[in-house]
Amino acid sequence: MNKTGTTSLTEALRALGFNAFHWGGQTVTDLVAEALKNGRPLLEGLDPTLDAFSDVHILARNYELLDEQYPGSKFILTVRPIDSWIQSRTKHVLLNRERKTAGTYSGKFLEVDEDGWRAEWRQRVDGARAYFEGRDDFLEIDLTAGLGWDPLCTFLGRPTPKQEFPAANSALDRRKKVLAEAELDKEARETAAEKW
């Protein structure tokens, strides 16, 4: 689920040698939806060198089918305290609104829905916990708890890197990105005006 450290997880997986993919937007969603609709393996239309995926919602909602189609795969559920998660999602929506106003965001994640998000949280987390209960190919991890590399490296059978565990895409990082996008947009408008 988004806002649970999926960007940090992706960076950690890359540091461990995986060709990890994060999010992908509508293009990836459409490719996976097409495979799902036609009864094909969900990852069929994606880059075959990829070996880890995070925050790709259509894949996260179809973990049972992924488990069936890709035996031997491992699954990681990133979580955080629900109130912290809702707060982070709310901040994300507010930034998306700013970006939309600035013309740098065209997505649909623009509404705060705390009740709906709580229901989504319970459904996704409880569903994954129930499905993978007692299995050794499932790791639930709260990356906000500061556990470092140990749980992930143990689960994946990889040596622990010397570098610190990644902490990516914080609220401050996103705010800086929005400001940078707005500044680039302003510069582009000024350059265009100078040409006229």
Does residue 25 form part of some domain? Answer: yes
Does residue 40 form part of some domain? Answer: yes
pLDDT digits (tens, 9 = 90+) for 137-184: 999 999 999 999 999 999 999 999 999 999 987 655 545 655 665 565
Q: Which helix (H) or strand (E) holds 141?
A: strand 138-142
Domain encompassing residue 50: 6-195
Does residue 38 form part of some domain? Answer: yes
Does residue 44 form part of some domain? Answer: yes
Does residue 1 form part of some domain? Answer: no
pLDDT surpasses 90 at 68: yes
Question: Cα–Cα distances in Å, from 11 out to 84, 86, 144?
Answer: 22, 23, 15
What value does the mean pLDDT take over residues 70-90? 97
Does residue 88 form part of some domain? Answer: yes
CA angle, residues 144, 137, 41, in degrees to nearest 5: 105
Does residue 145 form part of some domain? Answer: yes
Average pLDDT of the residues of the chain: 91
Q: Is the dihedral of CA 148, 83, 168, 124 positive or negative?
A: positive
- 118: domain CATH number is 3.40.50.300
Tell me the pTM.
0.85
pLDDT surpasses 90 at 191: no
* Backbone angles phi and psi of 108, in degrees to 5: -115, 0
The gap from C-alpha 118 to its chain's centroid, in whole angstroms, comes to 18
- When divided into structural domains, the chain yields a total of 1
